[in-house]
Amino acid sequence: MNFKMNAMAFILICIYAVICFSSIFLATATENNILLARISRGNYSQHAVHFYMDEESWSYEKMIKQLQKSEMRDFSLIYDDYEKNLRQIYLQGKVDPPPMVSGRYFATDDFCNHKALAVIGLNRKNDVIKKNGKLWIEVEDKWFEVIGIMGYRVETLLDDTIIVNADALLRKGSNNIFILDAYSGIGKGSSENMFNKLNELACKTVNAGNPPLKRLDADPIGTDRLFYNLINDAILFMLLIFCYVMCSISISYEWISKQRRRIAVMRLIGWTDWKLRRVIYSSYFKLALLGVGFGILLAMLFNIKVDNEGWLAAIAIVNIIIGWLITVPAVKQMLAITVTEVMR
């Protein structure tokens, strides 16, 4: 069965393209919702642990040194001075960085190496000076080298924020609240486990019987809004896909019915149903491939892209499954018709 382009084939290609484009659009919207919810929380995960420190028995500097000596990896320790939009951070291994406009975010080697580094928000660019080919910003009467600028396509809390490596400042504001956030790729209970390990290590360094770190119960901001946004997007996507599939099935019946006589002739010359299915599915695969290609080009044209490779894999699987489901009813009915009925 030769691959031929006709009106029905063109419509099927368009439907495949729309399904692919809708999948990419949904994945992008989901990524944006997750990112904005994270930013609204303070750019840390909903599973991060909030705690305060007994300043009489322990200190900020001791906590950094204890984390440096520990075997814990893939986490960030955060202290926010909300009045000054200033964040001090200490990290090891992998972390979830904020969206960057230029430059880079902090890496493990940036800490405890006598460096004073900063990542600033877009609105802080006017506070920067250039010296010896590098950008510098003054924080608490100390100069920090700017290694990156963070921001997003819409205005967020990040725009006014300055983030510095904690070991270069070690200066607390009016609050006594710290945040321990594990990398999202190692499980939602990791932050709590790391906090418990840190508290155990801290207990070994103090004489008092009570642990120097006390956990706080803090509800993550933005989680409810994220949940409802994701549900609404998923429902809309499922309704669209249902409509596309119904249209595709009806068109596929028409497309295959135009091949009736050709299929009958192939049966007469000895083609088996399995071989006919393989040829029909092969033709459908070519249409689907063209449609998915056009869908990706359409997404690129509108500057819609997915950053997470997992989403791309899910989109491919969804399109393959939907493409196969579209063909099954039409192919099954066509092969159920006898050669005599077709040739009348």
Per-residue pLDDT at 108 exceeds 90: yes
Name 165's bridge partners: 89
**Bigger pLDDT: 274 vs 106:** 106
Residue type, 251: I
Q: Is the pLDDT of residue 104 over 90?
A: yes
Distance in angstroms (rounded) separating the CA atoms of residues 166 and 285 = 55
Q: How many angstroms separate the Cα of 194 from the Cα of each of 26, 54, 182, 238, 339?
A: 34, 18, 8, 39, 70
3-class DSSP state of 130: strand
Please indicate whether residue 243 or residue 134 has the higher confidence score (pLDDT): 134
Q: Are 39 and 98 in contact (CB under 8 A)?
A: yes
Q: What residues contact residue 123 under an 8 Å CB cut-off, 6+ apart?
A: 159, 160
Higher pLDDT, 284 or 3: 284
Euclidean distance between CA atoms 121 and 160, whole angstroms = 5
Q: pLDDT by residue (tens digit) across 279-338? A: 777 777 787 788 888 888 888 898 887 777 677 677 767 776 776 776 777 677 767 666
Q: Output 317 or 26, whichever has higher pLDDT.
A: 26
Of the candidates 278, 270, 257, 249, which has an alpha carbon nearest to the alpha carbon of residue 1? 278
Longest dimension (CA), the chain: 97
* Whether residue 1 has pLDDT greater than 60: no
Coil, strand or helix: which one is 76?
Answer: strand
pLDDT digits (tens, 9 = 90+) for 137-165: 999 999 999 999 999 888 888 999 999 99
Asked whether 112 and 94 are in contact (CB, 8 A), the reply is no
For the cut 70, the answer to whether the pLDDT of residue 3 exceeds it is no
